[in-house]
Structure 1
Amino acid sequence: MGGIMVVTPASSVTSKKTISRLKQIPSSEEIGEIGFVNLKRFENKNSDGLKTVEIEDILDVTDNYEMSSADFTWFYSKFTNSKSDGWNGFMEKSHNNVAYHSSKIIPVPFIKNPPSDYDTIFTSLVEAAKQCQKQVQKIVFVTFDQPLYHKAREILASIDLDNDLYNLSSVQVRLGGFHLLMSFLGAIGFIMDGSGLKEAFVKYMRKIRPKKPFLGTHMHELSEDIF
């Protein structure tokens, strides 16, 4: 398994400028070990895991939509001038002077094990927690694709907060944006099955086979027609 680490701001990353001179050339085996992480075993594979997760309704369903000032301004501009910028262009101009920081992307060491294995995912979470402590952070976010995200959530749900040897309570896993969209469309397809929504997409899209995106797959077909 390979990965990258994103650090914001980029100025917080300092490179080691001095390189020590080698008096003896290391062996090929020693060089081969550089850039890899030792595998750690996940021992709680038979734990309840996700069964211990409690889901709470933190926001009541409401029909009251509070429009932001930026959205209201854009709607007013379209009302007074039909040739005004689209929403994306308007938001780009309105946030032109907002301060931001550039990020630095750093490759992290490889884990020589199948990505879908619990031990591999557990090792990556432990390494992320180490970086969190090293940088004196409280929380570190780790992004996975959908199959690995499910296992990572299961691992974190099985940890004992009173005996958290690897500080995994500081790790927050999140689903990647692409797979989040896939899951969302899959949920819509399941809920709206038989409503005629798929047939509407067939009528208004040129090449799309709507059954696939609404099953949470073949997202490229949907993106080609929409964008």
Structure 2
Amino acid sequence: MKCKLKEHYGSSIVITEINGKPNVVTFQQNASTILHSFYKESAAQKSEEENKNALLKAAAALIKNDIRSMPINKQFYPSTDAILSAGDSVPKNDPLDQSHSLQFVADNVDHNIDTIDGNNTFHGMGIISCTTPGVIKSPKEIPRVELTTDELVSAGHINVFHYNSDQVGNSFTSLRFQKVQELRKINTTWKLDILMKVLWPLKSPMPGWSGLMQMVCSGNNPGLSNVTFLPMIDLNPSDMSCVYSTLKFVSKEASYHNRTPVITFDQPLYWKALMITCGEECKNVVVRLGGFHTEMSFLGSKGRLMSGSGLKEVLELVYAPNAVNHMLSGKAVSRCVRGFMLVDIALHWLITEELFRINKTNEEAELTDIPLSNSILSEAGQLLDKLLNKQIPIETAVDHDALKAIEKELESKKKHLKESRTSSLWLSFCEMVAILKRFPLAERTGDWERHLASIQEMLQYLAAAGHNLYT
């Protein structure tokens, strides 16, 4: 190879040979220029740090020269195999098959908002599509195409439609609460929560609800989703024409993939989208309220319904008063969820003490020192240990006789306690906490039936608290 290079290039190339290292080939003109510059700089008296910088600059110039001499293809971009780090960013425009679900999410987007004078800012509607499971993108070459500005704009263009309620039609003229169909509850893993609430004070250490579900739940999942950024709409997101244009665009995109258009908004945009879809136009679009906003409203409704009951004073034993105000309004979501769960466990422990006659002979003794003398509790404790050690599956645990017996005893005791109005109020609080746990369970596991059932269970509390925009 060396002889062939010298025969072809002659004295135009320089081959540097060092024992034990690969040979370096470069053109004499480039090497002479770089080395001459390096020698000229090194001849001057410089500090050690300056000599290091000069050496690095000379090495960088040689590397840059090698990069420029590499062959390139000016007709096609590199394939995803050649650029592994950019493989996931190559879009795939083929229609999805039936094994993938497709949803859209739209919300307001702001860009360059921190300007001094407030000019040159952008406030519009941003849209993304979520594909589950994520599409495996096949490597392919993308041709380098010279596009004009008009062609580039048309590729990412969304048609804007003017919304006219008289022409489009709007049947959303009155708010009516209709009787909804009872949904079948398929997922029963939430029953494991009974084990935790009854045994939590008696077993230490004991994982919380989230930790328990992560420890015992297992199985296949659809995998990671792909998120694709779609074009933005340069209109005020609160404008009805902007929402209407978003629904039309989503409907067109979903029809290309042969899917029912499903889009998620936050509460203000959800309400306007619902008004549009109640008419003749876009009635095929399924509009969903974001799960986080639904949970916030449900937490706020619980705080409103429990006002004056003593819940605020109980939470202030753990949290600061200002934090409790935000919790009861549904703003501090994580604190509110944890605080409500702690109160729920305390209430169930009071019921468990009376139901199974658990008495502490020594007031200074820890709860975990109390023996499980009751046969049902003892059997339930063994069931929980086997479940946490993955000795039995969840399906066996939810159908266990001990769990059924505890559930039956609790239901009987709660039925008796509901004769008191105060007890009935706090039992309603416990039921709302149970719904609060079932809702994220459905969201995280992708259980659509459980999601609908949880929303259905929330409706009565949202309506009672006056949160009509969420019903």
TM-score scaled to structure 1, two decimals?
Answer: 0.72
Corresponding residue of 1:41: 162
Which has the larger helix fraction? 2
Structure 1 residue aligned with 2:294: 180
Equivalent residues in 2 for 1:70-149, closer than 5 Å? 71-72=191-192, 75=195, 82-83=204-205, 85-137=207-259, 139-149=260-270
1:111–1:45 distance in 2 versus 1, CA, 3 Å:
farther
Counterparts of 1:144 and 1:210, CA distance in 2: 28
Distance in 1, Cα, partners of 2:252 & 2:212: 42
Q: Displacement of 1:44 after TM fit?
A: 1.0
144-153 or 84-93, larger mean C-alpha shift? 84-93
SS in 1 for 2:233: coil
Amino acid at match of 1:123: S
- In structure 2, relative to structure 1, the CA distance for the partners of 1:97 and 1:2 (3 Å cut) is same
Residues 1:19 and 2:142 are matched in the alignment? yes
Matched, 1:214 2:214: no
Give the conservation status (yes or no) of the 8 Å contact 2:299–2:336.
no
Q: In structure 1, what is the equivalent of residue 398 of structure 2?
A: none
Count matched residues: 209
Equivalent in the alignment of 1:197: 311
SS at match of 1:129: helix
Equivalent position of 2:28 in the other structure? none
Residue pair 1:153, 1:173 contacting (<8 A) in 2 also: yes
In structure 2, runs of 5+ residues without a counterpart are 1-124, 339-471
Q: 3-state SS of the aligned residue for 1:150? A: helix
Residue identity in the other structure for 1:180:
T
Shift of 1:51: 2.8
Query: How far is 1:214 from its partner?
Result: 3.5
Tell me by how many angstroms 1:26 deviates: 1.1
* TM-fit CA distance, 1:147: 0.9
Q: 1:70 to 1:111 in 2, by over 3 A?
A: closer
- 2:325 partner SS: coil
Between 1:204-213 and 1:101-110, the stretch displaced more is 204-213
Supply the distance in 1 between the matched residues of 2:206 and 2:335 (Cα, whole angstroms): 27
* Identity within the alignment, %: 28
Q: How does 1:57-72 map to 2 (within 5 A)?
A: 57-58=179-180, 68=188, 71-72=191-192
1:165-202 Cα deviation digits (max 9, x unpaired): xxx23311111122112211232233333333334333
Q: Show structure 1 runs of 5+ residues with no match.
A: none
Q: Is the 8 A contact 2:161 2:244 kept in 1?
A: yes
Residue 6 (1) aligns with residue 122 (2): no
Q: Specify the code of the residue in structure 1 equivalent to 2:308.
A: G
1:223 equivalenced with 2:334 (yes/no):
yes
Larger gyration radius, structure 1 or structure 2? 2
Cα 1:49/1:196, change in 2 over 3 Å: farther
Aligned to 1:171: 285
Q: How many Å separate the matches in 1 of 2:173 and 2:238?
A: 20
Q: CA deviation at 1:86?
A: 4.2
Which of the pair has the greater relative contact order for Cα pairs under 8 Å at 6+ separation? 1
Tell me, yes or no, if the aligned pair for 2:132 and 2:222 is still in contact at 8 Å.
no
Is 1:182–1:213's contact at 8 Å kept on the other side of the alignment? no
State the alpha-carbon separation in 1 of the partners of residues 299 and 164 from structure 2. Answer: 35
For residue 31 of structure 1, the aligned residue among 144, 152, 161 is 152
**Cα distance in structure 2, aligned partners of 1:199 and 1:187:** 18
Q: Distance in 1 between matches of 2:188 and 2:317?
A: 34
Q: Give the stretch that moved more between structures: 144-153 or 178-187.
A: 178-187
Supply the distance in 2 between the matched residues of 1:16 and 1:122 (Cα, whole angstroms): 37
Partners of 1:14 and 1:119 lie apart in 2 by 35
Q: Is the 8 A contact 1:74 1:90 kept in 2?
A: no
Query: Would the aligned equivalents of 1:7 and 1:104 in 2 still touch at CA under 8 Å?
Result: yes
Q: 1:130-168: CA deviations, max 9, x gaps? A: 12211112x3321111111111111111x22xxx5xxx2
